[in-house]
Every structure is written in structure tokens, then in C-alpha cells.
Structure 1
Amino acid sequence: SSNRSFRIDYERNTFVKDGKPFKYVSGSMHYFRTPNYYWHDRLSKMKAAGLNAVQTFSLLFAIVNLKVFRVTGNHVDLISLRRPKKIVDGAFSPPD
């Protein structure tokens, strides 16, 4: 069993992951706008560029793919940050 943990150290103003100070460096990828056969390639390139996390919006019409996307991100050792989004500003529409 692993002793994974994550907390905020308010005295030192830092995140602590698995007992060590941690700073996440994140990029963003819209998995629902990227064909899934490119996901591993794109996420691997993000990891190679020094990122340790990937942010993505969570949209109801693409929730099944989100689960697969998160597994793909885990394969390249990226933390997945989900950003819930209401579609009220017209920024997103379902892909064709």
C-alpha cells in the first residue's frame, strides 16, 4: 500500500504532496476537442516540457471521455485537475 497524501501547509504557504513541498506546473488541454488517438502524444509532450499537471474542463456531453482522458494522463504521470464549467457564456459548444 502507498502512503499518498496531499495537504496545504499554511505556515509555509505551500502545498505538501507525499510529505514533500510541491508546486504544480500545469497546462490545459481540451480533451473533447482533441481526437483521443492524440491524447497520449499530447500529454507526453506536456510531461516532457516540465509540466506535472494537466487542467481540463468537465463538460456533460463529454464525461465518458473524461474518464478515459484521466487514465491516459495517469499513464504519463500527470496530475489531472478538473475544472467544472457551466455553458453559459457561449465559450463551448459540442464538437461536430
Structure 2
Amino acid sequence: MYTLNIKNNYPWAITVNGNKIINDQGDSAGLKNQGNSYVTIPGIGKMAFIDLVDKKITGYPFIKETWDILIRTSNVEAYYRYKGRRELSAVIDQYET
């Protein structure tokens, strides 16, 4: 479990897990005790936060952190790892990036 902090600088509201609304242009939220989560962003679709727990994605033998989250959109993915402080911050900018 981790805390997902989201800041929305986008011109439209976004939703987290289908029910938490983060309003447009500067609103933010801290969502505690997240596992698998998704953010719906108008114009992009869904951004998934897949909690891999302690499973590692193959091909990264140098990883030392214990916990893993795979972040995916339709055309981008990132692999986030943490140990200790379980906090992830995401900013949706005015260009939906």
C-alpha cells in the first residue's frame, strides 16, 4: 500500500478509481492506502497504477527497492520502486502530460 498524491493542472476535472473527483486547474488530493488504482483523464483515457507488490519486472537486475508500481497510459509506461516511504506524486499538467 502507498499514498498517491495527484495534482491536476489540466483544464478539466479528473477522477480516481471511478469515484474521487479532482477538480481542474490546481486541485489536488492525497489518496492513502492505494493498491491497484486508475485515473481517468478526459482526452487521454485511463492511467493505471498497477501495484506489483514485491514482484519484479524481469530485465531490471539492479533493483534494490522492495515494492514496485507499474504506471501505464495508452502510450507511456513507467516503473516506480520504493522502500520505506511509500508515497508517489503525479502531476497532470495543462497539456494532459
TM > 0.5: no
Larger Rg: 1
- TM-score of the aligned structures, taking structure 2 as reference length: 0.22
- TM-score of the aligned structures, taking structure 1 as reference length: 0.22
Answer 1 or 2: higher relative contact order, Cα 8 Å, separation at least 6.
2
